[in-house]
Amino acid sequence: MMCYARVNHSMNTENKPQIVSDTGCFIRREGIAPNEYGVNYAPLNISFFENGDWVSYEDTDLSPEEFYSKMRASEKLPKTSGAITGKLINLYDSAINKDQSTISIHITSKHSAVYNSATLAKSIIQEKYPQIFNKKKPHLYIEVIDSKQISIAGGFLAEQAVSLANEGYPIKDICKIILETIPKTEIFTTLNSFENVVKGGRLPAAIGAIGDKLQIKPFIAIVDGEMKIIKRSLTRTNKNAHKELVKRVENTQGDIIKLAVVHTNDLSGALELQKSLSQLYSGVIDIFEAGPALGVHAGEGGLGIAFQKA
């Protein structure tokens, strides 16, 4: 096992790196602002087709109720955009002005432009401050990490980085630990239908047509950053979909140290799943609303689990 150094716990807060993510990795806790957990989330843009034109919103401006209501009323599937370079530049610049480094952890690059936005923002900031970044050993850093995950699975990594920073780990060690944790972090989801995930371009239309014809509910995992249908786990009923998610926990090799349920406007289903999982896992099992970035592509009634292994 690799050893990591911790600096003194009495270090000044401004010397700790800021942790940045995007709302594609959003952890939405009811009644609690995201930044209370120390993650600075850059909101993604979401556009609805309204009165014959596309109207853009920041996804954090919409409550789950507003989002699903607007999506139902929209003539076309809403669009999400990860072109948020300007928002990330502002976050990185703010940290530089506080003499802070930044660790920026983002939704999988296989399905979003956010990671590219972050690397571009980093380059722009480095050009803006050559007196800092052109040194052989700069005292500040901007580290951009592709989580290879979506939703709360990416959010887990961002919150882990906050915890490590609070414990006094140096930025390079935090990044190494997060990179080692990515393969130990998994997310699985079952969807009500193929409709949104096909319309959003995440799966081929031919697969969706076959699935809908056979009335099959897709069971999806993120594999090396890419959305994949687990063919042997295709299921026809909500009950079977629920069982498939429980089996994923039951059959997982290694110790699970963090487990959560995620849903897209299906709180009752999430509560049932939480109850079943509590028979297998003695720790806290939080329930999270997935947020618009996942809700657009999953559609309503999606249910999933995310976990980290030791």
- Whether residue 3 lies inside any domain: the answer is no
For the domain that residue 40 is a member of, what is the CATH number? 3.40.50.10440
Which of 133, 152, 181 lies at the terminal end of a domain, its last residue? 181
Q: 93 lies in which domain range?
A: 13-47+81-181
Bridging pattern class, strands 219-223 and 302-309: unpaired
User: Among 9-23, 71-85, 129-143, 251-265, which stretch is predicted with the lowest mean pLDDT?
Assistant: 9-23
Report pLDDT for 246: 94
Report pLDDT for 234: 57
**pLDDT tens figures, 286-304:** 999 888 878 887 788 889 9
**pLDDT tens figures, 141-172:** 999 999 999 999 999 999 999 999 999 999 99
* Tokens at 86, concatenated: 């300007």
Question: Sorting pLDDT into bands at 50, 70 and 90, what band is 236?
Answer: low
Report pLDDT for 36: 53
Most confidently modeled range among 106-110, 225-229, 234-238, 292-296: 106-110
Q: Answer yes or no: do 22 and 104 share one domain.
A: yes
How far apart CA 258 and CA 197 sit, in angstroms, is 27
Q: Answer yes or no: do 243 and 166 share one domain.
A: no
- Whether residue 96 lies inside any domain: the answer is yes
Question: Which candidate, 105, 119, 85, places its Cα nearest to that of 25?
Answer: 105
- Whether residue 2 lies inside any domain: the answer is no
Question: Within 13 Å, how many C-alpha atoms sit on residue 39's CB side?
Answer: 30
Q: Answer yes or no: do 38 and 166 share one domain.
A: yes
Domain total for the chain? 2
Per-residue pLDDT at 201 exceeds 60: no
Question: Sorting pLDDT into bands at 50, 70 and 90, what band is 15?
Answer: confident
- Whether residue 54 lies inside any domain: the answer is no
- Whether residue 206 lies inside any domain: the answer is yes
Most confidently modeled range among 14-23, 115-124, 248-257: 115-124
State in Å, rounded, how far the first CA of the chain is from the last one. 12
Report pLDDT for 190: 87
Q: Where are the beta strands (DSSP E) in 9-72?
A: 18-22, 39-42, 45-50, 53-58
For the domain that residue 256 is a member of, what is the CATH number? 3.30.1180.10
- Whether residue 4 lies inside any domain: the answer is no
How far apart CA 240 and CA 121 sit, in angstroms, is 44
Question: Which candidate, 94, 221, 218, 70, places its Cα nearest to that of 148?
Answer: 221
Q: Answer yes or no: do 206 and 304 share one domain.
A: yes
* Tokens at 279, concatenated: 């028979």
Report phi then psi at 174, rounded to 5.
-60, -45
Q: Answer yes or no: do 28 and 162 share one domain.
A: yes
Sign of the Cα pseudo-torsion (88, 176, 155, 10, in order) = negative
**How big is the CA angle at 218 (ends 215 and 223), to the nearest 5 degrees?**
160
Q: Answer yes or no: do 200 and 157 share one domain.
A: no
Question: Which candidate, 127, 90, 85, places its Cα nearest to that of 106?
Answer: 85
Q: Answer yes or no: do 214 and 167 share one domain.
A: no
Sheet holding 45-50, edge to edge: 53-58, 45-50, 79-81
**How big is the CA angle at 65 (ends 34 and 289), to the nearest 5 degrees?**
45
Report phi then psi at 185, rounded to 5.
-115, 130
Bridging pattern class, strands 285-289 and 256-264: parallel
pLDDT, average across residues 224-243: 74
How far apart CA 204 and CA 202 sit, in angstroms, is 7
pLDDT, average across residues 26-34: 56
Q: Who wins on pLDDT, 107 or 72?
A: 107
Q: Answer yes or no: do 27 and 172 share one domain.
A: yes
Which of 164, 181, 198 lies at the terminal end of a domain, its last residue? 181
Per-residue pLDDT at 258 exceeds 70: yes
Report pLDDT for 218: 76
Q: Answer yes or no: do 23 and 125 share one domain.
A: yes
Which of 181, 198, 215 lies at the terminal end of a domain, its last residue? 181
Sign of the Cα pseudo-torsion (92, 98, 101, 105, in order) = negative
Q: Who wins on pLDDT, 19 or 240?
A: 19
Per-residue pLDDT at 263 exceeds 60: yes
